[in-house]
Amino acid sequence: MSSRRLVLPPRIIPLLILLLLLNCPAATAGPNELLRILEQRVSNGSFGRIDSLLIWHDGNLLVEGYYRGYDADRLHPTYSMTKSFTSALVGIAIENGAIGGTGSKMLDYFPNYTPANLDARKEAITIDHLLKMQAGFIWDESSIPYTSPGNSVYELEHTDRDWMEYVLDQEMLTMPGESFAYNTGVSMLLSRVISESVGTTTRAFAEETLFADLGIDNFDWSETPQGEVHTGGGGGGGLWLRPLDMLKFGQLYLNNGFWQPEDGSLGKQVVPSEWVAASTQPYVEEWMLGYEEIAPNNYGYQWWLARDDAPSVSKLAVNDLYVGVGYAGQVLVVVPHLDLVVVITSDHPGNNGRIFKLFPRYIYPAIQQLAVPEPSSTGLALFAVVGTFCIGCQRRGVWS
C-alpha cells in the first residue's frame, strides 16, 4: 500500500501562518521577551537619552529600569507633566468648595491686579478656559524653541516683571473658548487661583490634599521669582519627583481618583471621580508639535489624549489613553482598559515622538499578550501541520 503526502499550493502558506499566529500567540515573542528587548533597546540608547522606564499592569510593576546614572530615589523634573498634577489640585479645590467651579471668572482670583489690554474678552475668561488652553491670549511657545527669544515662555522667564502680571497683561487674540493655544502661562495662573481660593500656598495645599495620601514626601517644585510654585512646569522644571511617585499619580487616576495604600489601610477618594472623568475628556482637537506619535491630539483639562487615527493607539482595542507630557521626554501614560500605567523620564529635547514609538511596538503587544489564553489543541495541531509542510516545501526548494 503506497503512502500519499499532503501537498498544498505555496500561495496558501501565508494564510496558514496567519491562522497559526492568531490561534497560537505563543508562536510569536511572548510578553517577557518583548519587555526584555524593550529594556535592552532603552538601555543602549535606541530611543534616545531615557533616564527611567516603569511599566505597571494589573497590580504588578513589570518593569522598573533606571539608566544613565539615575536610580529610584533621584528626583527628576516633570516639566509640563506638572500641568496634570495642577489639574488635580483644581478639582480638589472645587470639591472642597474653595473654587466655585470651572465657570468661575479668572480675574476674580486676581483682586490685586489691574491687567493691561483689559476688554470684554479678557473679563470673560473662566477657569474652564485656562484648563483647556482656550483663554484667547496672544501666545506662541510651539513654533519657536523654548531656548530662543520670541518664544512666549522664554520671554516670560526672562522678564523682570511679576510673572502673573506679565501673563495677565498679554493682548487678546480671540474670544475665550474659540481656539486652542498651548500656553504654559495660563497653567501658571492656576497656581494663584488655587492659593487665592484655599488660603494657603499651592505647595502646602498639594502636600496636604494630594501628596500626603499618596505617600509623596520627597519632592521639589520650582518657583517664580515672586515665590509662586510653577504649576505650568516651566521655570526650572516644575515638579521634581521620583519616577515611582509619578507612577502613583497615574495609578490614582487609573483608579478614578481613589487611593488604596499598599499597607492595606483604609483607602480614600483623593481626587473626585467626576473630576478624573471630566479631566480626561477630549474637549479640543489640536496637533502637538514634536509628539507626532500621539497626534492628531485632543486636549482635556491639562491632559493630552490621542485621536483614533494617531499611531500610538493603532494597536489598542479601545482608545481610552490619556497622557501627561513634559519637555525633553517626560511621559505619564494611562490606558484604563489595559489596566496600564507607564512612566518614562528623559533628558532629550525633541525626543518625545520617538519615545511614543515604544508603545505600539513593545508595550501594548506585551500587555495584550498577558491576557491571551494558552494555545488551543487546534492551534497546536495547525502548528504541527504547517511545520511539517514548511519543512517539505523547503526540501523541494519552494522557498529557496
The domain limits of the chain are: 1-24+375-400, 29-75+283-374, 78-241
3-class secondary structure, 310? coil
Chain-centre distance for alpha carbon 136: 25
Rounded to whole angstroms, the Cα distance separating 286 from 296 reads 7
Q: 78-241 is classed in which CATH architecture?
A: 3-Layer(aba) Sandwich (3.40)
pLDDT at residue 120 in the model: 98
- For 222-314, strand residue ranges (E) read 239-241, 258-259, 268-269, 284-286, 297-299, 304-306
Instruction: Return left, alpha or beta for 78; rule: phi > 0 is left, psi -120 to 50 is alpha, else beta.
Output: alpha
Grid cell locating 33: 521577551
Q: What are the DSSP calls for 312-378, one per residue?
A: GGTT-SS---EEEEETTTEEEEEEGGGTEEEEEEE--TT-HHHHHTHIIIIIHHHHHHHTSPPPPHH
pLDDT at residue 41 in the model: 97
**For the chain, how far is it from start to end, CA to CA, in angstroms?**
32
**Right CATH for 29-75+283-374 from 3.40.47.10, 3.40.710.10, 3.30.2130.10, 3.40.50.720:** 3.40.710.10
3-class secondary structure, 5? coil
Grid cell locating 374: 494558552
Rounded to whole angstroms, the Cα distance separating 319 from 309 reads 10
Rounded to whole angstroms, the Cα distance separating 249 from 110 reads 29
Half-sphere exposure of 212 (CA within 13 A, CB side): 8
**What pTM does this model have?**
0.86
Question: What φ, ψ does residue 285 adopt, rounded to 5°?
Answer: -95, 125
3-class secondary structure, 136? coil
Give Cα separations from 126 to 107, 193, 214, 254 (angstroms): 8, 11, 30, 28
Torsion angle in degrees (nearest 10) through CA of 102, 108, 113, 115? 60
3-class secondary structure, 229? strand
**In the block, which residue shows the cell 519616577?**
243
Which residues does 29 contact at the CB level (< 8 Å), separation at least 6? 37
Per-residue pLDDT of the chain in tens (400 residues, 90 and over written 9): 444 444 555 555 555 444 444 443 334 589 999 999 999 999 999 999 999 999 999 999 999 999 999 999 999 999 999 999 999 999 999 999 999 999 999 999 999 999 999 999 999 999 999 999 999 999 999 899 999 999 999 999 999 999 999 999 999 999 999 999 999 999 999 999 999 999 999 999 999 999 999 999 999 999 999 999 999 998 789 999 999 999 999 999 999 999 999 888 899 999 999 999 999 999 998 765 555 566 668 999 999 998 888 888 889 999 999 999 999 999 999 999 999 999 999 998 878 888 989 999 999 999 999 976 544 444 444 434 444 433 343 333 333 2
Give Cα separations from 199 to 104, 131, 312 (angstroms): 17, 21, 41
Rounded to whole angstroms, the Cα distance separating 322 from 232 reads 18
Rounded to whole angstroms, the Cα distance separating 52 from 69 reads 10
The answer to whether 130 and 148 are in contact (CB under 8 A) is: no
